[in-house]
Chains A and B, each alone.
Chain A
Amino acid sequence: MDREAEGFAQFVETRERALQRTAWLLTGDWALAEDLVQTALARTWPHWGRIKRRDDPEIYVRRVLVNTWATWCRRRWRGELAAATVPDSVDPADFATEVAVRMAVRGALGSLTDRQRAVLVLRVFDDLSEAQVAQVLGCALGTVKSTMAQALARLRQDRRLTELMELETR
């Protein structure tokens, strides 16, 4: 394996889980998240050498990820969720709290516009700086700030989410 291929393999090895988690927050579905990450990585791989020389690979991959997701959002099949098996399965552990949090977060993120959701996930979950978010989304710094403020204002109105936050504060 040449050095470039090895570098890409290491990147996938170490970052795919983090990318999948970001993708889940964008799509709200693990199968789609997995598909989104695979697609983003497949689009990145042919240009890996150039990306490594010119750019921060992680920022570049996230940019492809968000752009691909934005493209998917505009497509008609967005509403389809293909599954070979019934997604529900019995879990022996008590994970009611986790499910409640997951439902609330997914619902709250779903109430945002695509751009607001992308800004929020990149800024809050991935902990990117505002400048990095602007770099990923290809927009101005001011746009990131205003979009973030709008997203937070919208989330403050989400009752289920605010209840969870109040519990967290206590």
Chain B
Amino acid sequence: MNEISASEMERQLRILMNIAADQPPRRVSVEAVRARVTRRRTAQFLAAAAAVALVGGVGVALAAQVTGRGPATGPVQAGPPPFYLQQSIAAAAASSGVVRSSATGEVTATFGCPWRGARVAISAIAPADNRTFFLVCQKAAAQGATTVITGSRIYRLNLTRSGRAASYALVNGGDLPGFSVSGIAATPDGSELAVSGSTAVAATSPVEVIVINTKTGAHALWTGLAKVPGKVWYSVRGDISLTANGRELAFLVEPRCVKATAAPQCHVSGGEEVRAVSPADRGGQLSSSRLLMKQAWIMQLSVGYINHAVISPDGSKLTLAVVSGPARSQAQSSVSVQQVPTATGRHPRILYRMFTGNGFTYQFFSSDPSGRYLILDAGPARGALANGWIDQGRLVPLAPANGASVLYETW
């Protein structure tokens, strides 16, 4: 060891200390600190009162109540998940992504596809717990002037406690030849997955949702309606979500009338809808779903859209990412995250709202498996976008603070 210089030794010590001092298991919150300050002030006040009482010859015992502080910890609040997976424009070109520490923004690992020649599909990452994620890897092939997805595979990525990529494993039942995935959801224990998409050969194929039991590899297929002139057709968006027990599968749809000459008229109203099927592992027709909420129940249809909808783990709430343009009542555009009970689908509670001036840019929204920690990347029509997680009405920044280059994040 004598040949190692002091600076080299410092460098190596820094690496070892970084490994040794892993991410703290719990967060220290401002509330906990304030509570401690209050206790200290109360203790000081009581101590002063006790001293006065002592001088007066009474209440010696009172003094004992305010002395003797040990190393007991104050109230602490569990913080957001320690790591998040990020896909950025640069990383997408390199068909990989990075794992970042939520606390420091430091990149702790990179991830990619273990399937040679495949790349991680954008937004197709589902968290199961804080250290297990499901990635969709897709292979594409040129067909004439277009590129067609030839198949998808779902891998389980495990992280170590310090955020490094520990292992990849092909999910049981996760090989989906000919299927192009647009969205994925997982139960917190990772026992059930749902992927939405369509068979790659026909771009106009109706969206299907495959529910996969990762223990047995069994598939249950939910199929969408084919377009029939004169009938209402439900355009299923990519985003789907599952309740924690895997029973409810929720998805966002946009009902449309399929028009054709000489076809009977049909009528749709109420805008976008969030619908659910249950039990998710049974399979069937997506048209047999039940309505959870309609866009018109929470906003004027002319004002904006629901861009994303996620059902809570217990199935009691829907969390919605809503964008709206300038309306008479408000001079600015906005991006907001709102919650409605699934029982009524009405009376939204606004968790966060960002006013964006004239126009907006919406990149993505995602939720952790608990449904408590929500990431939003949005901002004005031009300029920097805010990338962060929602905490009591504020957006706490995540790295990079300007989310313009970020395609997707989840934790």
Interface residues of A (CB under 8 A from B): 8-9, 12-13, 16-22, 24-25, 30-35, 37-39, 41-42, 45-46, 72, 77, 80, 82, 91, 93-95, 98, 101-102, 104-106, 120-121, 123-125, 127, 149, 152, 155-156, 161-162, 164-166, 168-169
Contacts and interface: CB of A to CB of B under 8 A. Distances in A.
Interface in B137-163: 158, 160-162
Interface string B4-26: 10101110111111111111111
Contact of B28 (A20, A94, A169): A20
A94 B166 contact: yes
B71 A32 contact: yes
Interface in B21-55: 21-30, 32-34, 36-37, 40
A46 B71 CA distance: 21
Contact of B16 (A41, A80, A127, A168): A168
B14 A125 contact: yes
Contacts of B74: 35, 38
Contacts of A30: 24-26
B72 interface: yes
A156 B2 contact: yes
A34 B9 contact: no
Given A17-B104, A98-B161, A165-B1, A35 B71 contact: yes
Nearest to B34: A45
A150 to B, nearest CB: 12
Contacts of A16: 27-28, 103
Contacts of A169: 4, 8, 12
7 contacts: A30-B24, A31-B73, A32-B71, A72-B71, A121-B17, A155-B13, A165-B12
Contacts of B8: 169
Contact of B26 (A34, A82, A155): A34
A134 B237 CA distance: 59
Contacts of A25: 17, 20-21
Contact of B30 (A12, A101, A106, A168): A12
A12 B391 CA distance: 14
Binding site secondary structure of chain A: helix
B24 A34 contact: yes
Contacts of A93: 131, 158, 160-161, 166
A122 B29 CA distance: 23
A124 B9 CA distance: 10
B70 interface: yes
A9 B103 CA distance: 14
Given A35-B74, A155-B9, 6 more contacts: A13-B396, A21-B24, A30-B26, A34-B73, A45-B34, A124-B14
Contact of B24 (A13, A33, A98, A106): A33
Interface residues of B, number: 49
B76 interface: yes
A1 to B, nearest CB: 10
User: Which 10 pairs across A and B sit closest by C-beta, in order of nearness?
Assistant: A17-B103, A105-B20, A20-B24, A42-B36, A21-B21, A16-B28, A102-B20, A41-B33, A9-B30, A162-B1
Nearest to B103: A17
Interface string B319-335: 00000000000000000
Given A82-B72, A165-B12, A42 B20 contact: no
A91 B161 contact: yes
B76 A34 contact: yes
A155 B1 CA distance: 10
A20 to B, nearest CB: 4
Interface string B67-104: 00011111010000000000000000000000001011
Given A93-B161, A156-B2, A46 B30 contact: no
